[in-house]
Structure 1
Amino acid sequence: MTDVTRWWLVRHAPVINPDKLLYGQAEIAVDRVDARVLTALAGSLPEAAIRMVTPLSRTRLTLEAIGGASPTPLVEPGLLEQHFGDWQGFSHDALAASGDGRVAEFWRTPATARPPGGESFADVVNRVAETLGRRSAEFAGRGIVAVCHGGSIRAALAVALGIDPAAALAFQIDPLSVTRIDHIPVAGERPVWRIMGVNLPPTQPDGY
């Protein structure tokens, strides 16, 4: 299976968010001070893999902190976090107090409800599905380390497992965790996915 594309999906470092804002695709600072964890993470990733980040600085800064920013990584907007539209930058409490009925509807059906000016999680799944397929074909037989977001990693698991977006929201994806999935092409048929691990703490590379 020489054309298998191996993905290491890394969630960025913890954000600094004392006001518990709904940040989505907005820029927000990250905490990169845990040198022990960053060193362990760096050692768990294959050196020869393609490096990929999203347009948001928190993914680039995380990659820099683990020493993987050279050569310059690819920037992939398809792996961005969910866009919460007009609600980005507001706290959960502020949104609840706004009296906007769309807020309650969003929390009742978080996979399919779409914030004003934003996207639903189901939209994210579709976006990530296209990205994974395109990049897996482009880098067939290679490894890809993609520093991205909790939402896009959950979306990738929805794609790989073929499950409903609502079910994928149940996955816990911790900062600086690694989720491993393999894209396996099948002649004349749709490719299949293999799940190697979800929300893994930094360990040694898995034989890549």
Structure 2
Amino acid sequence: MCMDLLRHGEPTGGLRYRGSGVDDPLSQEGWRQMWDAVGGKANPGGPWDRLVSSPMARCQGFAEQLAQRLGLPMAIEPALREVGFGAWEGRSHEDLKLNSLDEYLAFFQDPLKSRPQGAEPLGEFRGRVSDALARVETRYRGQHVLLVTHAGVIRAGICAALDVPLEAMYRIKVPYAGLTRLRRDERGLMLEFVNRTRVS
């Protein structure tokens, strides 16, 4: 069983916190990033048998177009949506540094205990993602699946594969349209590669 996790491209609205509460569509550059990741809009390709997408617009719109172009089945998995950032939804990094620096630094020092007000608990988020990945594995056993999703979901998947503590999750950088592969074999869930910019 092989799962490729593709982060969405750049959204409109600039660099800001978008969790499960803010859902900007892809910018023109974001669409270009996504098509480039799969071999180009004119001739996309990949080793996949099917696609599974987050329900958020910045993922689903591209996943639907790619599935149509490749002639592959596609499903929506609601639990692959991004982590909820609560009061930080829609706020820029610069705004937080300028107006909430202590809170901003505390989050990165201990994102498990220093969550933004109203944010989804990180342990619950990791459980949600782990359950979603397990459902994908069960439903599509033996297939190669492309999951179009979010940086937080990809970080949670990497942490699960490597048994990394949740406190370290935000030390994993995931670029727009970065591609990460998880593979399960007789040894368990393995991390094959992280953050490729183009499918091989």
| TM-score range for the pair, normalised by the shorter chain length | 0.7 to 0.9
Aligned to 1:59, the other structure's residue is in SS state: helix
| Pair 152,92 (structure 1): closer, same or farther in 2 beyond 3 Å | same
Q: 1:116 to 1:166 in 2, by over 3 A?
A: same
Q: Residue by residue, what CA displacement relative to the aligned partner does 1:72-106 show, whole Å, maximum 9, x if unpaired? A: 62111222111001221222343455569655532
2:60 maps to what in 1? 60
Aligned to 1:24: 19
Shift of 1:10: 0.7
* Cα pair 2:9 2:33 within 8 Å, conserved: no
CA distance in 2 between partners of 1:155 and 1:164 (Å): 10
Give secondary structure in 1 for the equivalent of 2:172: coil
Question: What is the number of residues matched between the two proteins?
Answer: 192
TM-score (norm 2): 0.81
Normalised TM-score (structure 1): 0.78
Change (3 A) 1:169 1:108: closer
SS in 1 for 2:133: helix
The corresponding residue for 1:9 is 5
Counterpart among 196, 200, 203 of residue 199 in structure 2? 203
Give the number of the structure whose alpha-carbon radius of gyration is greater: 1
Per-residue CA deviations over 1:130-149 (Å, capped at 9, x if unaligned) read 11122212221111110001
The 3-state SS of whatever aligns with 2:59 is helix
Q: Given the superposition, is the C-alpha separation of residues 39 and 181 from structure 1 closer, same or farther in structure 2, using an over 3 Å criterion?
A: closer
Paired residues of 2:25 and 2:58 also in contact (CA < 8 A): yes
More helix by share: 2
SS of equivalent to 2:67: coil
Instruction: Indicate conservation of the 8 Å contact 2:108/2:170, yes or no.
Output: no
Q: Compared with structure 1, are the counterparts of its residues 198 and 103 closer, same or farther at alpha carbon in structure 2 (3 Å cutoff)?
A: closer
Aligned residues of 2:161 and 2:191 also touching (Cα < 8 A): yes
Amino acid at match of 1:196: E
Q: How does 1:82-93 map to 2 (within 5 A)?
A: 82-93=83-94
Q: Which residue identity lines up with residue 63 of structure 1 in the other structure?
A: A
Deviates more, 1:121-130 or 1:152-161: 121-130
TM-align CA RMSD = 2.7
What is aligned with 2:137?
A: 136
User: Identity over the aligned pairs, expressed in percent?
Assistant: 22
Question: 2:61 is aligned with what amino acid?
Answer: L
2:151 corresponds in structure 1 to 150
